[in-house]
Amino acid sequence: MTIRVAVIGAGAAGLCALRHLTTRQHKFQAVCFEQNSRLGGTWIYNDKTGVDDHGLAIHSSMYKNLKTNLPKEVMAFPDFPFRKDLPSFVRHEDMLEYLESYADRFDLLKYIKFSTTVSLVQPLTYPDKVTWQVTYKALSDSVVTPVTENFDAVMVCNGHYSVPFIPTIPGLDVFRGQIRHSHNYRYPAEFEGLRVVCLGAAASGQDISVDVSTAAKQVYMCHRKPNLQTYLPDNVEQKPGVKNVTEHTVVFENGEEVTVDALLFCTGYRFSFPFLSPECHLTTENERIVPLYKHLIHTEYPSLSLIGILKTICPFPNFHNQVLFVIAALDGTMTLPSRENMDEDTAKDFSSRLKRGMPERYAHTMGTMQWRYNDEIADLAGFERIPPVVEELYDTVHITRVKDIVHYKSVNYKLTGPNTYITINGDNPTT
């Protein structure tokens, strides 16, 4: 019997889901819903911020000068490399072109309902099975009546870089300068000659601080980490976290006070699944989504999965593995543990994170744990592991980045085998 699957979102994760579902048409029938008029998700750059022509919040967080902070050699889906003529660190335009080429190669466009928003996903429980009612509406005509269809499974691929998180800071309501989240940052000229505080020094906070510095008078990169031992532009200065703000100043946690013109929050994003009904029994508290087995499959309703919620990962290879894991569960290739055992596994994973000193909000943050995770789900579902060279190069880039966040993207790499790569600096390749 054919399994009907609704895929929500046509970004990288949704396209990967479609690619693997539609090449198994003897088992699956897939329909993808995408509220944009084109594929690409967060990789669709838009000069505009706020809302689009349909009154929906603009999804993308791309800024004009963004380049990937990982090389294309590790970013690629395992079965679809980037063009060889591109440098290792590519612009967002190249990423979008890559996803469009991926969709063309696997003939995915015919399965996508563009300019369509999903308003409700609701389980229908029967004695022997669960099906899903998906209600959606075309955005092209405001008088169109919503349509509801039934599916056997739902794969949620709506991303997690679109709903900004802004921490509570005393005095923020009286500050008279600009207040902006990185979601709405587009180009440095917006901060020409200003004194800017960038809050947050994860990957995007570092990159945006450097980008803003090309136009700003002064940039204060604020974070609670030990000072980064890296080269920085002359007008970028590291500061501790923000204690409070006044009308025109910022007070840091060490008591120092500086006059500033703008606050730019590089503080991350919140998970958001507004279309999932309360009957889905999925909760998000302090950025922990439960109940999910392997950060992926709903333990009460295993035919509902969330692809791509993990943070601090090499994304496309991870999406590839997660999609294959879900497909193996849906078509019976892999038998899932009992709900009780899945919940126990989830609790054990969360507990181990707390014991390592990770805060609760890092429930889905991976970092170095991603490689064991990727291998584990590959082994459980019986598909090929990601080649070891991906981890090796990922780690090398991390080390390079830590030393010089300004220039690390000028280096190029080339994979030479499943376990090897070379570094290309000008005309001098090194292993």
Measured CA to CA, the distance from residue 256 to residue 139 in angstroms comes to 50
Average pLDDT, the chain: 95
Q: How many CB atoms are located within 10 Å of the residue 253 CB? A: 13
33 and 101 share one domain: yes
How would residue 391 be classed by pLDDT, with cut points 50, 70 and 90? very high
294 and 175 share one domain: no
349 and 325 share one domain: yes
In the numeric block, the tokens 């180009």 are attached to: 187
**What per-residue confidence (pLDDT) applies to 53?**
84
In a domain, 73, yes or no: yes
216 and 309 share one domain: no
Question: DSSP 3-state assignment of 386?
Answer: coil
What's the Cα-to-Cα distance from 350 to each of 33, 207, 270, 300, 309, rounded to whole Å? 32, 30, 19, 18, 15
Supply the range of the domain harboring residue 345: 3-162+269-381
Phi, psi of 210 (to 5 degrees): -65, -40
Question: DSSP 3-state assignment of 31?
Answer: strand
- Name the percent of the chain lying above pLDDT 70: 98
User: What predicted TM-score, i.e. pTM, was given to this entire model?
Assistant: 0.96
311 and 258 share one domain: no
In a domain, 171, yes or no: yes
In a domain, 109, yes or no: yes
Find out whether 271 and 93 touch, Cβ atoms under 8 Å: no
pLDDT, average across residues 143-164: 93
**What per-residue confidence (pLDDT) applies to 427?**
43
Q: Is the predicted pLDDT of residue 379 greater than 80, yes or no? A: yes
261 and 288 share one domain: no
17 and 101 share one domain: yes
Q: Is the predicted pLDDT of residue 429 greater than 70, yes or no? A: no
299 and 246 share one domain: no
Q: Is the predicted pLDDT of residue 332 greater than 70, yes or no? A: yes
In a domain, 199, yes or no: yes
Domain with residue 245: its CATH number is 3.50.50.60
27 and 152 share one domain: yes
How would residue 148 be classed by pLDDT, with cut points 50, 70 and 90? very high
**What per-residue confidence (pLDDT) applies to 140?**
80
End-to-end CA distance of the chain: 51
In a domain, 389, yes or no: no
Find out whether 385 and 374 touch, Cβ atoms under 8 Å: yes
Angle at 310 between CA 153 and CA 317, to 5 degrees: 80
- Which H or E element spans position 211? helix 203-212
**What per-residue confidence (pLDDT) applies to 94?**
98
Domain boundary among 339, 359, 381: 381
In a domain, 397, yes or no: no
Domain count, the chain: 2
**What per-residue confidence (pLDDT) applies to 425?**
75
How would residue 428 be classed by pLDDT, with cut points 50, 70 and 90? very low
In a domain, 411, yes or no: no
DSSP state of 90: -
Angle at 90 between CA 89 and CA 93, to 5 degrees: 165
pLDDT, average across residues 61-84: 97
**What per-residue confidence (pLDDT) applies to 173?**
96
Domain boundary among 207, 239, 265: 265
DSSP state of 428: E
Q: Is the predicted pLDDT of residue 431 greater than 70, yes or no? A: no
CA count, 13 A, side-chain hemisphere, 114: 11
Q: Is the predicted pLDDT of residue 51 greater than 60, yes or no? A: yes
Tokens of 106: 């696997």
**What per-residue confidence (pLDDT) applies to 123?**
98
79 and 154 share one domain: yes
Q: Comparing C-alpha atoms, which of 264, 36, 48 is closest to residue 164?
A: 264
**What per-residue confidence (pLDDT) applies to 55?**
86
Q: Comparing C-alpha atoms, which of 122, 157, 134, 135 is closest to residue 9?
A: 157
259 and 342 share one domain: no
pLDDT, average across residues 323-332: 98
Domain boundary among 354, 381, 408: 381
**Cβ neighbours of residue 14 under 8 Å, at least 6 residues apart?**
7, 8, 32, 34, 41, 155, 157, 307
258 and 277 share one domain: no
pLDDT, average across residues 143-167: 93
In a domain, 53, yes or no: yes
pLDDT, average across residues 156-174: 95
